[in-house]
Amino acid sequence: MKGDITCKDCVDLLMDYIERSLDARTYDRLDEHLQSCPPCIHFLKSYRKCSELSGQLRDQRVQIPLELENRLKGFLKEEVRKPPQPGK
């Protein structure tokens, strides 16, 4: 990656940044950007919070109404049986 890290780069690289899977140079440059960009810092905090909350939800079982479950299963079966459409 050449030049300065932009806010768009930050969004694109955020998951890799959090997982520390970036090369050291890119990680350091992104970290530097985050230290000086309040909107990206806010986005990072929001991203981490969403990740935390979704992790908590993943561990919970939610009971949906039987009618909705049956309709969803029927819809999915129909979609799986449809032949692939070019360009989709």
Domain span holding position 24? 7-81
3-class SS at 64? coil
Instruction: Provide the pLDDT for residue 34.
Output: 94
Considering the domain boundaries, does residue 58 fall inside one?
yes
Considering the domain boundaries, does residue 2 fall inside one?
no
Considering the domain boundaries, does residue 47 fall inside one?
yes
Considering the domain boundaries, does residue 28 fall inside one?
yes
The number of distinct structural domains making up the chain is 1
Q: Would you say residue 79 has pLDDT above 80? A: yes
CB 22 within 8 A of CB 13: yes
Within a 10 A sphere around the Cβ of 21, how many other Cβ atoms? 11
Considering the domain boundaries, does residue 27 fall inside one?
yes
Instruction: Provide the pLDDT for residue 87.
Output: 64
Instruction: Provide the pLDDT for residue 56.
Output: 80
Cα torsion angle, 54, 55, 58, 61, sign: negative
Query: Can you tell me the mean pLDDT for 49-55?
Result: 87
